[in-house]
Structure 1
Amino acid sequence: KWHESAVKWASQGARGGSATSYHPFWSWEIEKILTLKSNKSTPENSVKKLDYGIGFNKLFFERARADEKITLFSAEESRGLIDNLYNYELWEKTYLELEKKRGIRKKKISARKLLKSFATERFETGRYYPIFLDNINEGPLKDSIKMSNLCLSGDTIINTDMGKMTLEECIEHKDDLRVLSYNIESKENEYKEITAKAMTNPSAKVMRITQDGRSIKCTEYHKIWTTNRGYVLAKDLVETDELLIDE
């Protein structure tokens, strides 16, 4: 409820603020988290303004397939799991050690039952998202992905310090590129280095946004900068919004 209240300030007109909260499968409260957006929940035990990303990895799926149990830990006693979140070998070593360690708060639940609960809530609400911690950072990215990423269409024209290119060409480009960006603090255009680039979902649903004869294609959850309301999700744009157009 505290998190839900904290994001209400980011109002987008008639739509209140929203955010996505990320949790690993071994979180002590994971079972409760999977009920917070349930259609069967009451206002007192639900958090409707937050979406949830749940992190899974190889160990979890192996145990779910074998119908074995996983161990849940409290955050204060399992810091090593977060520290090694994207290094599977170190993470697995830490996890197995914690499972054997005495004197800490932990409990065992069915991996398969948890997976079924996640799948049910994902199907019924569409607001729970899986994160595959093993392979999320396999690929050409320079920096680690630690949250969800929002996308533009591959044929989007990008102004770079080497001329105009499509986004797909930027991804395939071997040399370092800088792209023309808008600094919302200085209110000036400036070229910024690309720190991460990759193709995500080639079949993702996209929408076209048009203003003054210019258009952009993006996923509905891509954030668009407007001069009147700041960043707005593409799906929440209205006719009165003014997009910043590069001349």
Structure 2
Amino acid sequence: MKNVTVIGLGSMGATLARVLLKKGYQVIVWNRSIEKAESLLEDGVIVATSVASAISASEVSIICLSDYKASISILDSKEVKQALSGRVLIELSTGSPQQARDNELWAQENNVEYLDGAIAASPLQMGNSEATIFTSGSLKAYKQSEQILKCLAGNVPYLGEQVSAASSTDLAFLSYLFGSYLGFFHAARILESDGLRIDDFGSMIAHVSQVVGEVIKYESEVIQTGTYDNPQSSINMCMTTVELFMAQAQ
């Protein structure tokens, strides 16, 4: 059994530990609140007494906390940095592109192979084919941890050695996702106002998502190449729809 260390046992961190256990890994965990760690004992994890001892037990450590600030506050001690030296650290906390760059610099100063990651999935989806983890940073770290990551998510694109790529891609994805949420919540009110079922609409959206994806793919190519001479819809036509939104809302 190969060892993997998981630091942080919130909803996502605990899920990562359970998935890795099911995939045949020996999982060593540490959490600031020991109660969360104890809940995983019956699943077969080993609870470390300190961050340094948890990291020393594995060649690859995953840290998954609320944000990068919390992550560095746990890792930036003499004992932990010594334990991490020469090992792989996968950062799966939430952070900005600049924080990813700062983390990489910190890792280089402490001889740590650093892989920045961003999870684009819910805890319930982890371990399944639809889950995605964006990664970027040390190619050596990615190769060494690739099989571990692919146990956690069916889609684990490596976006290159530019360490900020995963975080930027994640923020871009979330921008699209949150915009979709706002659109859906408004859609729910439109349907409710006419006595129509919202769950039927949700099923329909799931069915046509591939079509929407093709539209986004086309527009992404337009922007990337700067080829704006063949619009699929005019601004005037789009404004007609916006006027309908306003009229219906009133």
- Relative to the length of structure 2, the TM-score reads 0.27
Higher strand proportion? 1
Higher helix proportion? 2
- Relative to the length of structure 1, the TM-score reads 0.27
